[in-house]
Structure 1
Amino acid sequence: MPWYKRTYDWLERRIQIEGPVKEAALHYVPKSTASWWYVFGSASLTLLILQVVTGILLALVYVPSAGHSWQSLEILNHQLPLGWFLHAMHGWGSNFMVAVVLIHMAQVFLFGAYKFPRELTWILGVFMLLMTLGMAFTGQVLRFDQDAYWGLGIGASIMGRIPFVGGQLVHLMLGGPMINGATLTRFFALHVFVIPGMLLAFTGLHVWMVLKLGVNEWPMPGRIVRRETYIKEYNELAHSDGIPFVPGAVWKDLVFSAAILFAVAFCAAVFGPFGPKGVPDPTIIQTVPKPDFFFLWIYTVLSFLPPEMETPFILIAPMIGVAVLIALPFVAGVGEKSWWRRPVAVFSVMFLAICWAVFTQLGTYTPWSPKMNAWSGDAVPVKYLQHRTPLERQGANVFQEKQCRNCHSVGGLGGQRGPALDDVATRLTEDQMIRQVLLGGGNMPAYGGALSPSETTALVHFLDTLHPNYQPAAGDASRYVAAHGTLPESTTMERGVGQTKAPR
């Protein structure tokens, strides 16, 4: 007996895996499923394996620290032999994986493959889609360039709007109140260990259920799914008009997966890796940060939404979308599968695809909400500098140099992403201004790492002068009580801010 046969027999006697593998490979599937429409699931698995392999190789070079991550990617792209190609394969593999998973989900929906008895298979697929998007987002953050920094700032602001627990979630995500070295460490752990581990476990369970429940048959018009009879009818169809998965159906999966890998390699060789772009610097916002293509539609929608609609859309729309996808097999788990007799399903897919394509296209050239040319070198209006102390004028200089006017207007000039600051001193106390500048919040990133203590002090003193003459400046009522033992009669509450106003 040859040595390799003896080795195989020795291993098989202890592992006993030949039986399950043969059962999986030779199980019968309906002949109609040996179609090019059924290759997207296996292609998704192939791309996942590609991401795992290239990700492991990248992790040998990448340094997840704020001071070295950007440089490690530059070394990978420009100094290591074929490092750029490995980086590009991982980046383009991510794009292809998101696209193929979305196509697979649409195909499963149109073919009615979420119906009985495959409800849990569909739900697992929904969570796998969310984890795929999570891998894509965390991967973009690990580039830690200008796009990654601002994208992470926007992501943190979205999470910070969650009622009651938003602040705690932001601290958990960033490793503190601002973007720093701990942030990259956490995203590295998410991107390399947590999300891929969960995705691989869900993928294994997903494949197991496909093997046990069978590949969804071709949706013929008039073939109704009934819980009482479907399993029996499917088994009869698989045995009367079925073929072994290997080799009858698997060859198309292999050909399509090979074509996808070739397309990824072609894009990697021709277009190269994604970034990194400029070194992240929160004080430089003369940039047009854009997310990767699968998030561009969100970027576009948020650019066009009025400010008061952003938070409801961000918090409610995703929850509704996920809830609809999860509830789908329970609401429409039986009945017709064929798309020819499900016009609402076809219209829904077409409508969502057109909206996604239009918003994505707009996102490629739609300007970001801050007016990037708002700070043109014009001086702060003279009326805001008259009768000011040297420290307050120094704060005005910091306000100008740090380009705060790209997002905030003063005297009617400047950006409109953030609120106008002409009356900021009537809305925020000095302590609240310091906290907002250092830690950020809402759409504003944290500037604690970009300002020295003296610059922060001067800037806040200047902002503290921005209140109309007829309105008192906001003050901390607790300090007034500590000094005088009671609140003044003129105390009021600022609606929408909740800050007690007291004389200083």
Structure 2
Amino acid sequence: MAWYKNIYDWLEHRLQLEGPIKHEIMHPVPRKTASWWYVFGSASFVLLMLQIVTGILLGLVYAPSAAHAWDSLQVLNHDLPLGWFLRAMHGWGSNFMVAVVLIHMAQVFLFGAHKYPRELTWVLGVFMLLMTLGMAFTGQVLRFDQDSYWGLGIGASIMGRVPFIGGPLVHLMLGGPMINGATLTRFFALHVFVIPGTLLAFTAMHVWMVLKLGINEWPTPGRIVRRETYIAEYTELAHKDGLPFVPGAVWKDLVFSAAILFAVAVCAAVFGPYGPTGTPDPTIIATVPKPDFFFLWLYTVLSFLPPELETPFLLIVPPIAVAILVALPFVAGVGEKSWWRRPVAVFSVMFIAICFGVFTHLGTYTPWSPIMNAWSGAPIPVELLHNRTPLERQGANVLQQKQCRNCHQLGGLGGQRGPALDTVATRLTEDQLIRQVLQGGGNMPAYGAALSPAETTALVAYLKTLRPHYQPPAVDASRGVVAMNTK
């Protein structure tokens, strides 16, 4: 075995890592922190490593293009040995990672570990949670099936509601006005490079601060955090009633992390990978897309909110929630840590957990919209076809075939997800109708890739006839001004 030692000595002489590593892994921690309540952070890190390793292997096969993404996943599922298991490990690892990170955040909050001097540790944790959700969302998009296509459409709709910069943000996210090959390339870069790289950097900073500031002590009732005395009190506690992190506390982290990996493997083997389901088809509105579990609560809320409240909710509630989380350690950075003496904190966690559980459960069977109940087979009212030209009647056929009435009422029948079309010609000009059909907007997806130029022309021609006879069609006022100036 002497040659092993020679290699080790050669490396140590040049890197000199033994001293710093020994110092960190042997640093004392309060004895009560060697508890099963303190294992979620290390399990989150292990799951991140699992995602990176399985993601690299999947990236060797996956083709981030609209023409080949779905086929490359079929190759992984059916042609490569254990390719399906690799995809399943990556998918279930994502679910477990989101769940464990959420539990870790709740445990940190209940144990008062966000208080002085760990404020920045908490703030980094908040952004790491957001990046974990971002990595999960971008990964779902890369499946590029019906669910991911419509999920991305909903995400683009949410992004487009941002005042002033919503349109440019959607173009930046999609690589254009609609979902196409450039969209997958951008999400692939986000999922594989940008988000994991940033998450690894934040994780390194997070671990560094945990090592330097120490693991939060057990929240004993009556032990008050004071900025003037806390560090001295913590140092005394760690040395008088402490034990080395290795092996005193680390073995529970290793056991729990191994159990989590085993659970991921069991779920992967039993339930298999997620999708992909059918190839994306923007004309199939009745697909009833479902996001992965970590976004089901949002799916449910948006399904039951009245349309006029969706935009205020999306633009106000999430930013306020993030701001509250970031501000928490600065507003409540001292005082009692024990949950026994912080009833508001306990109630908040219980309330959020119950709401999350209930909304997630409802999301498993909640329709995309409770009032989106039209059938594409219902005929267009006869009175709306009288005195129409052949081109306009062809447009009515396009309206029927593309299932537009799943979302829009016409003649009092149809879905209510979008506005009724009976008076659409009084609200939108011809140019605006063309732009809305091709590029979408609001809750409406873009149909530019699903309609031929002839179909678009016919559909817009028919839509231009949908107005009461006593109301004039919408006009572009700027054209009148230009015409007057040219005379």
Q: For residues 41-87 of structure 1, give each alpha carbon's deviation from its aligned partner in whole angstroms, at most 9, with x where no partner exists.
A: 00000000000000000000100000000000011001110000000
Query: Mapping of 1:29-428 within 5 angstroms?
Result: 29-369=29-369, 374-428=374-428
Secondary structure of the residue aligned to 1:268 is helix
Unaligned runs of 5+ in 1: 488-504
Q: For residues 422-473 of structure 1, give each alpha carbon's deviation from its aligned partner in whole angstroms, at most 9, with x where no partner exists.
A: 0000000000010001001101111000000110010001000001111110
* 2:69 partner amino acid: S
* 1:74 partner amino acid: Q
Between the aligned partners of 1:207 and 1:323, the Cα distance in structure 2 is 23
CA contact (8 A) 1:65 1:185 kept: yes
Secondary structure of the residue aligned to 1:61 is coil
Secondary structure of the residue aligned to 2:281 is coil
Between the aligned partners of 1:330 and 1:478, the Cα distance in structure 2 is 52
* 1:122 partner amino acid: W
Q: For residues 317-342 of structure 1, give each alpha carbon's deviation from its aligned partner in whole angstroms, at most 9, with x where no partner exists.
A: 00000000000000000000000000
CA contact (8 A) 2:339 2:345 kept: yes
* 2:321 partner amino acid: G
CA contact (8 A) 1:370 1:416 kept: no
* 1:130 partner amino acid: L
Kindly state the Cα deviation for residue 278 of structure 1 after the two structures are TM-superposed. 0.6
Between the aligned partners of 2:416 and 2:133, the Cα distance in structure 1 is 30
Between the aligned partners of 1:156 and 1:198, the Cα distance in structure 2 is 23
Between the aligned partners of 1:373 and 1:332, the Cα distance in structure 2 is 48
Q: For residues 333-386 of structure 1, give each alpha carbon's deviation from its aligned partner in whole angstroms, at most 9, with x where no partner exists.
A: 000000000000000000000010001111111111176651242221111111
Kindly state the Cα deviation for residue 19 of structure 1 after the two structures are TM-superposed. 1.4
* 2:30 partner amino acid: P
CA contact (8 A) 1:370 1:406 kept: no
Between the aligned partners of 1:321 and 1:372, the Cα distance in structure 2 is 30
Between the aligned partners of 1:214 and 1:370, the Cα distance in structure 2 is 50
Q: For residues 372-415 of structure 1, give each alpha carbon's deviation from its aligned partner in whole angstroms, at most 9, with x where no partner exists.
A: 65124222111111111111111000000000001111001111
TM-score normalised to structure 2 length:
0.99
Between the aligned partners of 2:171 and 2:50, the Cα distance in structure 1 is 32
Between the aligned partners of 1:78 and 1:140, the Cα distance in structure 2 is 20
Between the aligned partners of 1:97 and 1:244, the Cα distance in structure 2 is 28
Between the aligned partners of 1:448 and 1:15, the Cα distance in structure 2 is 58
Between the aligned partners of 1:81 and 1:237, the Cα distance in structure 2 is 53
CA contact (8 A) 2:372 2:416 kept: no
Q: Quote the residue 1:16 is aligned against.
A: 16
- Aligned CA RMSD, in angstroms, stands at 1.2
TM-score normalised to structure 1 length:
0.95
Secondary structure of the residue aligned to 2:478 is helix
* 1:228 partner amino acid: E
Q: Quote the residue 1:499 is aligned against.
A: none
Residue 7 of structure 1 pairs with residue 7 of structure 2: yes
- Flag the 1:15–1:111 CA change in 2: closer, same or farther, 3 A: same
Between the aligned partners of 1:436 and 1:184, the Cα distance in structure 2 is 23
Unaligned runs of 5+ in 2: none
CA contact (8 A) 2:376 2:406 kept: no
Between the aligned partners of 1:483 and 1:39, the Cα distance in structure 2 is 72
Secondary structure of the residue aligned to 1:286 is helix
CA contact (8 A) 1:88 1:268 kept: yes
- Flag the 1:370–1:454 CA change in 2: closer, same or farther, 3 A: farther
Between the aligned partners of 2:420 and 2:486, the Cα distance in structure 1 is 33
Kindly state the Cα deviation for residue 483 of structure 1 after the two structures are TM-superposed. 3.5
Residue 479 of structure 1 pairs with residue 479 of structure 2: yes
Kindly state the Cα deviation for residue 99 of structure 1 after the two structures are TM-superposed. 0.1
Between the aligned partners of 2:402 and 2:369, the Cα distance in structure 1 is 18
Between the aligned partners of 2:485 and 2:409, the Cα distance in structure 1 is 39
Between the aligned partners of 1:4 and 1:378, the Cα distance in structure 2 is 78
Q: Greater CA deviation, 279-288 or 209-218?
A: 279-288
- Number of equivalences: 487
